Structure 1
Amino acid sequence: GRKMSQRPDTKARKIMSDEGLCVNTKKTAGHVPGHPPSNRYFLRSEMGCLGVHFPPLTGIDYCTSKEIPSGCPEFAISIVNSGCYQDDDDKGEQLIYTGQGGCDLLGNKKQVSDQVMRAGNKALVGNIELGIPIRVVRKNKDAASEYGNIFIYDGLYDVVKYWSEKGVEGFDVFKYLMIRRPEQAELLSKSLAFGGTSAPKNHSIDKDISNGLERIPVSSINRGVSLPLLRYIVEYEFDENMPQPEPRVLPANFKNNPHDYVKELNGGSMPYSKNKNNHFIVDCARAMIFECGPWTGCPDGIHCGYAVSQQGLQWRLEVFKTRFKGWGVRSWDTIPVGSYITTFVGRVHRIEDCDGSKDDTFYFDLGKRTDFGWDNKPIEEGHDMCVLRTSACNLDQETKYYVDGGETGGMSRYINHSCDPNLYVQPVLCDHADVDMPKICLFAAKNIPPFEELTYDYGPQYIRENLDGKCNCGAVGCQAPAE
């Protein structure tokens, strides 16, 4: 890899430092203002600019004798547990941390010499003497981020004791027992282990609520409360006597160039393009997206890059119990802006058959959408091509059908409302031409870091009719905040 001084993030940090743009520049113990536990960072340079952890490479950040009152022992303010030391033992709430030094960090990651009681190692002993907690940041693998990792601030830990012992490679290492302080936000780093064989006390795990129907398992972590009963499906089911949409047929003159026809349906441009990680993402919010697929005779079928919504889940998603809003959904992965997330599925009914006798909490009208795209502009105003397609597709006519995802549905039924959402609704047509019955797909409206709850805007009518005009989303600028 590139030297630290040559990396663009390192250069950016130096520029920001030189121009006085960094914040929290004075070393301090405890939480950093504006950075509570569960905050996520993509780069060490980012943490340095924000005052969370200053060193660009070493794992222990500490106050030297020049930065503290005379006679006070040096003490550490933060550590980054990156998994580089073989002798670490991380159980989440309890961490046995290996001191610094003697490890071939740039080579085989093994201990090659004894550790010495100085610098950060000595400072951690000062934390024991003074009773000062340290910030613990963990590095987690994340293939979608720029450098393959993401850093999560997991809160304050007390350094309880330390000792020296022979490590795995036979060299002397220092060990520090650290215990997480109570009454802090959820420990996000260890959530990645919930898909394994153990869970915290009073929690239960379902490794895949889709029972194998999704291409990537959808896990759930339940805090003593079971998920509502749901017959899981991944495609629409139709009510009895419902008209089935006619399959779309490729015109004969496009037989040798099916993508040209898909481009024509989309107003002259393909709706998806590759990002730097070779993921196909939507280029902008549209009134309707027309996808390629088996109906075109495309040799790639549903695996075509222009058949994104037909390929199923792309991200590791988890259903979890939120604090105030019931069940919610979050991702274990970084999700780039414009990425397909999922489709709202359930049983399709006629609007005229809805008599108001059932709970409509999980109803979704298959009508014209006016959601905001990832550039935060309304579809009708923000994209001229969408205006043309709106007219061509007759999307201004009355809604004919709705989807009920209550008792029969998918993971999408658990995605909550927010007045400041990170997803948006995008109608998609795949293998038929009935614009009254599109797939209701959800796409990322912004870059979404791991463990951030996924949300979309249900609209003012839902807040008015289902929430009695009082919204609990908690977003800044909420449309109707509950008092």
Structure 2
Amino acid sequence: MGALKNSTDQRRVSPRLQNLPDDQRPYYGPSPKRTSESAQNDAVAKKKPKVEKPSAPAQKSASNAKSSKEKEKVEAQNGESETKTGPDVEGGGADFFAPDGRLTDENGVSFTARLKETLRLFNLHYLHFIQEEEKRCSKLENGTACCDDLKEPSGRPGNDSACDDKRQSKRPDLKAISKMLSNNEILYPERKIGHVPGFHAHWLNGIDYIGESRGKEKYKCYTLPLAVSIVMSGQYEDDVDNKEEVIYTGQGGHDLLGDKKQIKHQVLLRGNLALKNNMEQSIPVRVIRGHKCVNSYSKKVYTYDGLYKVVDYWADKGAAGFDVFKYCLKRDGGQPKLLSKQVHFIRGRGSKVQPEIPGLVCKDICNGQENICIPATNVIDVPPMAPEGLTYTKSIKVAKDVNIPSSAPGCSCKGNCTNPLTCSCAKLNGSDFPYVARDGGRLIEPKAVVFECGPNCGCGPACVNRTSQRGLNYRLEVYRTADKGWAVRSWDFIPSGAPVCEYTGVLRKNDDLDSVSENDYIFEIDCWHTMNGIGGREKRLCDVSIPNGDAEKGFSKLSESEPEFCIDAGSYGNVARYINHSCEPNLFVQCVLSSHHDVRLARVVLFAADNIPPLQELTYDYGYELDSCVGPDGNIKKLLCYCGVDGCRKRLY
């Protein structure tokens, strides 16, 4: 059978998030059994002097505590092995193992997905409060602050300096947490033990634990207190961190307001006693590590490194000569790869590409076009091959039959745009700026379309409303994978809302692609369709103003299933061409207008949906509609999805 004439039958319907209801998604059998790297058990050299352990408060013995636990058997999929767990401490039976071995809630949603959703909600609140804080600071700089802005905090009379305006009550991160607490949006407001993910609740103590007052009913089968998580961030000079096995120093006795060194003896109470109880009852502890990071707003990035078992503890003389408690923890096996190894690995890489990078096949795929080199590595193929078939271009090329509209009128701001009430570009975005200036510019939330300042605006290149026009800000690497071809990751921490890269290529009309059947790099510009929720697309916030009423009437006549223009990255493109699909991505697609206001020809920019740690693969949802791709023979084309996430839809199209 000859090639079909309808070009839409030969390419994806839309590379955007479809968000189809679960009951409309076909199920293609159980997920493949996933295996994780076993934890290494390298021994940690430690000296245990003969120091008598201080006696703990009266409590049940470890043997009694263990014998009092209820044991339940959960048959494994192979019918031979079994997993033993403690009692259902939640009482409602909300936590259970799915048939494929993943831990899910009562609705079958993985805890990982729920945690990611909660973190995104926090980032949304946080960026909104960042915007409020930037407005307040702008008023102070311009001398237009109201009395409430300059109100002195209680207990600190007479302090009207500029430093006072950055007091703790103005911290956007604490405001975001307070907002989530008031809205009942915290995922797990109560402390829990075991696999269920949760935050380290105490902002100061390194050991978070469940005490007698809060846990005596829910955890009555255990000896309390019980530790739920610890933070390792270099606070104690006696800590030894070998990643898979650590020596952790107990809490208390150090100078919090001074040089952070030990100034008195520790006691076996609270968190210290909790870790001892965890050891005696074989309860794992969540381990979180803090690392210095100049790109993070707090100058630190924290990684959750999984569950560890306390295998030993003893009293010792610390480096400062005071009694401290030390705990040996070993990482449980069968967990995902240790994130802290990635963080420390990235520290060893300089800003310039070095030839000793393992598998380096190309020092810079962009040939100097970007302001940052983009290396390519391949440790999979033998012999290793570099990416081929692409002529790199950092900007959009325009096909001959495509007419770009004339430049739109701009705002009259000078220097930087700061007042959304007077900036004409801000008025197009719903009378507010879509970005905050923090971390070089971050988009507060996905929108139907973002109007940025353009060539006719009076502001300069440092304007916050030009955030996506500044090129690459993060060191990216194209690397070869075993099952997904080429992929992209970042060597740097990327905060949520930060622009990662634009999708470039040749701007074409969709009708010109009739002869293209094997080009998988077609990105349809469906901005108008997203604004109106056409074709099953997820409708985004649409508090924007289309300046050209005549054009808007023309857009409304567009086909509901086919955008008019697309970006073809088959032969010309940039690093975005190598970014893979994921059903649970860490990037999202945002249409941006800057030089003109024709939404049919909007720029396509990829933004960070989450706080992305170094060396995590960058992905976005291609948004194929299942059974929408038809080959030249008239048969429906099917392609399996290998993203490997808990919510994988099993097929790409």
- TM-score if structure 2 supplies the norm length? 0.52
Describe the superposition over 1:384-404 as per-residue Cα deviations: whole angstroms up to 9, x where unpaired: 624956825955677355321
| Paired residue type of 1:391 | A
Describe the superposition over 1:147-205 as per-residue Cα deviations: whole angstroms up to 9, x where unpaired: 6656543211122344555555454544333221111123334432232338xxxx958
- Following superposition, the deviation at residue 465 of structure 1 comes to 1.6
Equivalent residue, structure 2, for 1:90 = 241
Residues 188-207 of structure 1: matches in 2 within 5 Å?
188-197=339-348
- Following superposition, the deviation at residue 468 of structure 1 comes to 1.9
Q: How many residues align?
A: 446
Equivalent residue, structure 2, for 1:346 = 505
Residue 253 to residue 113, structure 1, CA distance change in 2 (3 Å):
closer
Residue 54 to residue 438, structure 1, CA distance change in 2 (3 Å):
closer
Q: Is the 8 A contact 2:494 2:612 kept in 1?
A: yes
Residues 78-157 of structure 1: matches in 2 within 5 Å?
78-140=229-291, 151-157=302-308
Residue 383 to residue 100, structure 1, CA distance change in 2 (3 Å):
closer
Q: Distance in 2 between matches of 1:70 and 1:325?
A: 47
Instruction: Give yes or no for the alignment of 1:229 onto 2:351.
Output: no
Q: Distance in 1 between matches of 2:312 and 2:293?
A: 32
Residues 37-48 of structure 1: matches in 2 within 5 Å?
47=199
Residues 354-433 of structure 1: matches in 2 within 5 Å?
354=513, 356=515, 359-366=518-525, 369-371=528-530, 378=539, 382-383=542-543, 385-386=545-546, 391=551, 399=564, 402-404=567-569, 408-411=573-576, 413-418=578-583, 423-430=588-595
| Paired residue type of 2:275 | L
Structure 2 gaps, min length 5: 1-166, 350-356, 631-636
Residue 180 to residue 288, structure 1, CA distance change in 2 (3 Å):
closer
Q: Is the 8 A contact 1:136 1:153 kept in 2?
A: yes
- Following superposition, the deviation at residue 55 of structure 1 comes to 4.2
User: Secondary structure at the residue paired with 1:306?
Assistant: helix
Residue 106 to residue 463, structure 1, CA distance change in 2 (3 Å):
farther
Equivalent residue, structure 2, for 1:50 = none
Q: Distance in 1 between matches of 2:228 and 2:552?
A: 61
Q: Distance in 1 between matches of 2:550 and 2:239?
A: 58
Residue 372 to residue 82, structure 1, CA distance change in 2 (3 Å):
farther
Describe the superposition over 1:87-142 as per-residue Cα deviations: whole angstroms up to 9, x where unpaired: 33334333332222222233322233344455433443444444443221234567
Describe the superposition over 1:368-427 as per-residue Cα deviations: whole angstroms up to 9, x where unpaired: 5523699x9636x94562495682595567735532156742145314254888613304
Larger CA deviation: 401-410 vs 81-90: 401-410
Describe the superposition over 1:410-460 as per-residue Cα deviations: whole angstroms up to 9, x where unpaired: 145314254888613304343x7887654322346xx62335875544344
Instruction: Give yes or no for the alignment of 1:296 onto 2:456.
Output: yes
Residue 127 to residue 212, structure 1, CA distance change in 2 (3 Å):
farther
| Paired residue type of 1:121 | N
Q: Is the 8 A contact 2:380 2:480 kept in 1?
A: no
- Following superposition, the deviation at residue 78 of structure 1 comes to 2.6
Q: Distance in 1 between matches of 2:387 and 2:610?
A: 29
Q: Is the 8 A contact 2:250 2:327 kept in 1?
A: yes
Residue 256 to residue 311, structure 1, CA distance change in 2 (3 Å):
closer
- What is the RMSD of the two structures over their aligned residues, measured on CA atoms? 5.6
Equivalent residue, structure 2, for 1:281 = 443
Q: Distance in 2 between matches of 1:26 and 1:254?
A: 53
User: Secondary structure at the residue paired with 1:307?
Assistant: helix
User: Secondary structure at the residue paired with 2:247?
Assistant: strand
Q: Distance in 2 between matches of 1:117 and 1:195?
A: 38
Residue 176 to residue 234, structure 1, CA distance change in 2 (3 Å):
farther
Q: Is the 8 A contact 2:413 2:458 kept in 1?
A: no
- TM-score if structure 1 supplies the norm length? 0.66
Q: Is the 8 A contact 1:343 1:412 kept in 2?
A: no
Instruction: Give yes or no for the alignment of 1:181 onto 2:351.
Output: no
User: Secondary structure at the residue paired with 2:287?
Assistant: strand
| Paired residue type of 1:291 | C
Q: Distance in 2 between matches of 1:218 and 1:57?
A: 40
Residue 334 to residue 306, structure 1, CA distance change in 2 (3 Å):
closer
Q: Is the 8 A contact 1:157 1:180 kept in 2?
A: yes
| Paired residue type of 2:539 | P
Q: 2:606 aligns with which of 431, 442, 449?
A: 442
Residue 310 to residue 111, structure 1, CA distance change in 2 (3 Å):
same
User: Secondary structure at the residue paired with 1:158?
Assistant: strand
Larger CA deviation: 77-86 vs 385-394: 385-394
Q: Is the 8 A contact 1:99 1:174 kept in 2?
A: yes
Q: Distance in 2 between matches of 1:24 and 1:138?
A: 21
| Paired residue type of 1:333 | I
Q: Distance in 1 between matches of 2:503 and 2:649?
A: 24
Q: Distance in 1 between matches of 2:532 and 2:586?
A: 10
Residues 230-245 of structure 1: matches in 2 within 5 Å?
233=392, 235-236=394-395, 238=397, 242=400
Q: Distance in 2 between matches of 1:237 and 1:474?
A: 32
Q: 1:465 aligns with which of 629, 642, 649?
A: 629
Residue 405 to residue 149, structure 1, CA distance change in 2 (3 Å):
farther
| Paired residue type of 1:416 | H
| Paired residue type of 2:499 | Y
Q: Distance in 2 between matches of 1:328 and 1:410?
A: 8
Structure (1 or 2) with the greater strand fraction: 1
Equivalent residue, structure 1, for 2:9 = none
- Following superposition, the deviation at residue 85 of structure 1 comes to 1.9
User: Secondary structure at the residue paired with 1:371?
Assistant: helix
Residue 204 to residue 319, structure 1, CA distance change in 2 (3 Å):
same
| Paired residue type of 2:451 | I
Larger Rg computed on CA atoms:
2
Q: Is the 8 A contact 2:435 2:442 kept in 1?
A: yes
Q: Distance in 2 between matches of 1:8 and 1:264?
A: 29
Larger CA deviation: 352-361 vs 77-86: 352-361
Q: Distance in 2 between matches of 1:154 and 1:258?
A: 42
Q: Distance in 2 between matches of 1:344 and 1:252?
A: 24
- Following superposition, the deviation at residue 310 of structure 1 comes to 1.4
Q: Is the 8 A contact 2:261 2:320 kept in 1?
A: yes
User: Secondary structure at the residue paired with 2:333?
Assistant: coil
Residue 222 to residue 94, structure 1, CA distance change in 2 (3 Å):
farther
Q: Is the 8 A contact 1:366 1:401 kept in 2?
A: yes
Q: Is the 8 A contact 1:194 1:205 kept in 2?
A: no
Instruction: Give yes or no for the alignment of 1:308 onto 2:455.
Output: no
Instruction: Give yes or no for the alignment of 1:60 onto 2:207.
Output: yes
Q: Is the 8 A contact 1:133 1:159 kept in 2?
A: yes
Q: Distance in 2 between matches of 1:185 and 1:332?
A: 19
- Following superposition, the deviation at residue 367 of structure 1 comes to 6.2
Q: Is the 8 A contact 1:428 1:440 kept in 2?
A: no
User: Secondary structure at the residue paired with 1:360?
Assistant: coil
Q: Distance in 2 between matches of 1:150 and 1:128?
A: 28
Q: Distance in 2 between matches of 1:479 and 1:256?
A: 49
Larger CA deviation: 305-314 vs 281-290: 281-290
Q: Distance in 2 between matches of 1:316 and 1:78?
A: 32
